[in-house]
Chain A
Amino acid sequence: MRGVAVNLSIGGALVAALVIVGLVSLFWTPHDPAVLAMSDRFHPPSAQYALGTDQLGRDLASLLMAASANTLAVAFLAVGFGGLAGTTMGLVASANGGFTETTIMRIADFGFAFPALLFAVMLATAFGPSLFNAVLAIAFINVPIFARVARGAANQVWAREFVMAARAMGLGGWSITWRHILPNIAPILIVQATIEFAIAILAEAALSYLGLGAQPPMPSWGRMLSEAQTLMFLAPQLAIYPGLCIFLAVLGFGLLGDGLRDVTDPRLSRKRT
């Protein structure tokens, strides 16, 4: 049980810090992250600039803060839409069974053939690179994951006595799904969403790094890294902080997801120790 507490507390603390920084950045950052100060380029960390400035004289700390809000928004939209669509597919499959279930799950299986990167590449070629296309690509990979998880969990609930009782009372498939199945599988979906949040943050960073996500001048950890890479001999520190932010954010959501799973599924945590 010690491992559980460690996961949950470190993950929770990292995620809480990230969310607070992201929310604060909407109202206040030490400097305006969009303001260029060419005379202050590559300023070392000081009282005025906590982490120094970048190649355009922008305050690094403010950029990192603003980027955290963007990252969270992207992950929230992508996991939200992908999760909603996937969960709906899984619930419909589970409620109907038979041919509907087979067809839906085959479509979901097929979704695994496209990593988010390939999907983003296709969209970028056809419509030009944009953050919207990146969100779409990340949402897309979440659909089959949630379809599978929701259907597996829902099938187990459908086999329980109280669902049979609800059926005997004459409740239809939709009412049972809404009143009994969804509330019972919600913890599993929340755990999955937390883990997918970590993956979405990683994917957004990678896509933005490659130029397929956030476009200038929107602050983004991934894009900051790709700009810093060309200046590595001049200002190596610029390549450290954005990566550290991505790492901590992904680690935070990953640990939180693991910790939540241990709490909601005692069978797994017993197996772990």
Chain B
Amino acid sequence: MTTFILRRTAGFLATVMAISIVVFFVMNVLPGDPAAVILGLDASEEAIAALRTELGLDRPVWQRYFAWVGALLTGDLGESYFFRIPVSELIAERIPLTLALAAIGMFGTVIVGVALGIMAAARHGRAGDWAIMLFSQAGIAVPAFWLSILLVLLFAVWLRWLPPGGFPGFDEPLQALRSLILPATALALVQAAVLARVTRSSALDVMKLDFIRTAQSKGLSQWGILRYHVLPNALIPVVTIIGLQVAAVVTGTIVIENVFYLPGLGRLIFQSIANRDLFVVQALVVFFAFIVVAANFIVDIAYVVIDPRLRDRLE
């Protein structure tokens, strides 16, 4: 198992390095001159030249790459050209909101997805199963941002129960939570639809096995069988999907924050695109890509840790 973890860690680090190279190449090398990108079309030659010197763009590309990566490793993400403060400060200000949104969304995804999946499997072939599968099919096809708009129409415009967008800050915890309900619901419903499908088919596979029949014949209740025999075994493939969904939910916050005008990292990305704040976008793209890769990495490791059968096979 140690060899597996070491090999997987090496792969993870290599991927992270490759991400940094691709992001740097696409954003710093492909457009030709980052200074011209930042200053826009109507900038004078002198201004561009001055910014080139200020940003150290006269150095060779590989030197700039290593300087950037070296700084990244020490937590220095560069400076925002638009706000004139370190990117790390910008991120620190906005990350609590994004994390809170992702955490609530993920919590809702797992609860709703696993519950619906198990319920559908328990009612296999009956009306409840069909209803849940219909919900799942619809949830997979519905765009999260349109679902958000529909939720706003229903709960903010017509019923006026919840705010249509914006965020009051964490100083007012109750109001803050209220403004996160709709965004988190939009995030969670779409992902729960996917998770319900996977949980259902995984549970159905487990329910076909002999030990379930044994449990039935020794008189265990259906609830007992589901709770103690089906669920733990069905969860193994589900964990993989949940890991991938962490990545989907975190990148999903980028879209959702823009629908609900929530001042998190996703909103910062789009403000920075509008401000042509190259280095902020660059840092955030690396950050989000890192989350995606890290989630996959953790899933791979968790897979081996939770399933003893796999552990034996690796040894």
Assess whether A39 is interfacial by the CB under 8 Å rule: no
Our pick among A114, A115, A246 for the contact of B146 (Cβ within 8 Å) is: A246
A79 to B164, CA, bound (A): 35
A255 to B285, CA, bound (A): 33
Q: Report the interface size for chain A: residues with CB under 8 A from the other chain.
A: 41
* Residues in A whose Cβ lies below 8 Å from that of B19: 110, 113-114
A183 to chain B, nearest CB (A): 31
A1 to B91, CA, bound (A): 52
Q: Could you list which residues of chain A lie within 8 angstroms of chain B, going by C-beta atoms?
A: 109-110, 112-115, 117-118, 121-127, 129, 198, 202, 205-206, 209-212, 222, 225, 228-229, 232-233, 236, 239-240, 242-243, 246-247, 250-251, 254-255
Give B135-152 interface residues, CB cut-off 8 Å to A.
Answer: 137-138, 140-146, 149-150, 152
In the A-B complex, the 8 residue pairs with the smallest Cβ-Cβ separation, listed nearest first, are A243-B146, A251-B141, A126-B31, A250-B141, A125-B281, A122-B26, A113-B293, A239-B149
Determine, out of B70-78, B100-108, B218-226, B251-259, the stretch whose residues face the partner at the interface.
Answer: B251-259
Q: Report the interface size for chain B: residues with CB under 8 A from the other chain.
A: 45
Give B108-143 interface residues, CB cut-off 8 Å to A.
Answer: 137-138, 140-143
* Residues in B whose Cβ lies below 8 Å from that of A229: 149, 259
- Chosen A-B contacts, 23 in total, with CB atoms closer than 8 Å, are A110-B19, A113-B19, A113-B289, A113-B292, A115-B292, A117-B251, A117-B254, A117-B255, A122-B23, A126-B26, A126-B27, A126-B30, A202-B141, A210-B270, A225-B146, A229-B259, A232-B153, A239-B150, A247-B142, A250-B141, A254-B137, A254-B141, A255-B137
Assess whether B278 is interfacial by the CB under 8 Å rule: yes
| Inter-subunit contact A250/B143 (CB<8 Å) | yes
| Inter-subunit contact A206/B141 (CB<8 Å) | no
Given that A129-B273, A236-B153 are known contacts, is A247 also in contact with B255, CB under 8 Å in the complex? no
A232 to B156, CA, bound (A): 10
A13 to chain B, nearest CB (A): 15
Assess whether B15 is interfacial by the CB under 8 Å rule: yes
* Residues in B whose Cβ lies below 8 Å from that of A129: 273
A238 to chain B, nearest CB (A): 10
| Inter-subunit contact B259/A118 (CB<8 Å) | no
| Inter-subunit contact B152/A232 (CB<8 Å) | yes
* Residues in B whose Cβ lies below 8 Å from that of A228: 149
| Inter-subunit contact A110/B15 (CB<8 Å) | yes
A188 to chain B, nearest CB (A): 20
Given that A113-B15, A117-B254, A239-B149 are known contacts, is A205 also in contact with B285, CB under 8 Å in the complex? no
Closest residue of chain A to B270, judged by CB? Answer: A210
| Inter-subunit contact A122/B146 (CB<8 Å) | no
| Inter-subunit contact B251/A122 (CB<8 Å) | no
Beyond the given pairs A126-B26, A229-B259, A233-B157, 9 more chain A to chain B contacts, judged by CB atoms under 8 angstroms and listed by A's residue number, are A114-B22, A118-B251, A121-B273, A125-B276, A206-B145, A225-B149, A232-B149, A232-B152, A250-B143
Given that A125-B278, A126-B31, A202-B143 are known contacts, is A243 also in contact with B150, CB under 8 Å in the complex? yes
* Residues in A whose Cβ lies below 8 Å from that of B272: 125
Closest residue of chain B to A254, judged by CB? Answer: B141
Assess whether B37 is interfacial by the CB under 8 Å rule: yes
B131 to chain A, nearest CB (A): 15
Assess whether B18 is interfacial by the CB under 8 Å rule: yes
